[in-house]
Amino acid sequence: MLELTETYRSALANYDSNVTEWFNSAFDLLNVDFGPEYASLLLAWIKFEQRHGFNSPKHGLSTKEWPSELRTWIQNSRKGVPPQFSDVRSLKSFSETVWVWWRSLQPVWRGVASNGRPAENVTYRKTWTTLDKHGKSGWLGLLICLFWWKRGLENLDQTSKQELELDWLLAVKDMRDMLEGLLHQD
């Protein structure tokens, strides 16, 4: 996570602390060692937010289909106790809601796979409007959901944890790939 922290510090070096306050708080929360895939997603997010000057417009990702836990967190000024997933059923329900929301945010060209997840990326196209959302109401909500999901795995026994952890990793990779595609669009 040292490389990630150094990238974070250098990205913020030229910005007024009033502009980056929201990002500092978010990064402090999300900067946890959940493995290399998660770290690469956070790195892409830092670059994405830097591209937008760490500004935080009022409008962001669509709230249609988003998890109720995220809505509550935002209504509480992005503070308070995170949701507690004490059993496999509650965490599985949350993870499915995250997938449904993520699928609803995809550009129309992406499509849906037979398992109900977004189709694998083969080629990126130019229309990214639904995902090109930065600031507190942008990708932060997706990252917070992944953070809660991974924390919820800590409460499960090894057997229950395995399937949901693989699903979490798929979500992390998929979000990272789409965010990197968004960063490299023409």
Supply the pTM of this predicted model: 0.91
User: SS3 letters for the chain?
Assistant: CHHHHHHHHHHHCCCCHHHHHHHHHHHHHHCCCCCHHHHHHHHHHHHHHHHCCCCCCCCCCCCCCCCHHHHHHHHCCCCCCCCCCCCHHHHHHHHHHHHHHHHHCCCCCCCECCCCCECCCCCCCCCCCCCCCCCCCCHHHHHHHHHHHHHHHCCCCHHHHHHHHHHHHHHHHHHHHHHHHHHCCC
pLDDT in tens, the chain (186 residues): 556 777 777 777 777 777 778 898 899 899 999 999 999 999 999 999 999 999 898 889 999 999 999 999 988 887 777 888 888 999 999 999 999 999 999 998 888 888 888 888 766 677 888 999 999 999 999 999 999 999 999 989 888 899 899 999 999 999 999 999 999 875
Spans of all domains in the chain: 2-183
